[in-house]
Amino acid sequence: MPDDLIDQLKSMLIEGLRLEDVAPDDLSPDAALFGGGLGLDSIDALEIGVMLDRQYGIKVSSGDERNHQIFASLRSLAEFVASHRTR
């Protein structure tokens, strides 16, 4: 998977979630996005879902059993986007 997709997702998360104290280099591709990692919550997950739809044409439903895996890290999110994007 290209690093430029991970970089795009970093920028999207920082801007879209208004993470003012976070720089792109602060986000490790393998660090957890939720819980003890970046510390995102369920509202952030909904916002990420909306951003993925707008940016990449990807629909993620809140009831999808794969959500824990998809949103586990920046790398897993990038892999999901790379294989499901329509834009």
d(CA 2, CA 62): 27
Residue 25: which residues within 8 A CB-CB, separation 6 or more?
none
Q: For residue 84, give the H/E element and its range.
A: helix 74-84
Structural domain spans, the chain:
3-18+29-84
pTM (predicted TM-score): 0.88
d(CA 38, CA 82): 22
d(CA 49, CA 83): 16
Evaluate whether the domain defined by 3-18+29-84 bears CATH number 1.10.1200.10: yes
Per-residue pLDDT of the chain in tens (87 residues, 90 and over written 9): 568 999 999 999 999 999 988 899 999 999 999 987 788 888 999 999 999 999 999 998 888 898 989 999 999 999 999 999 988
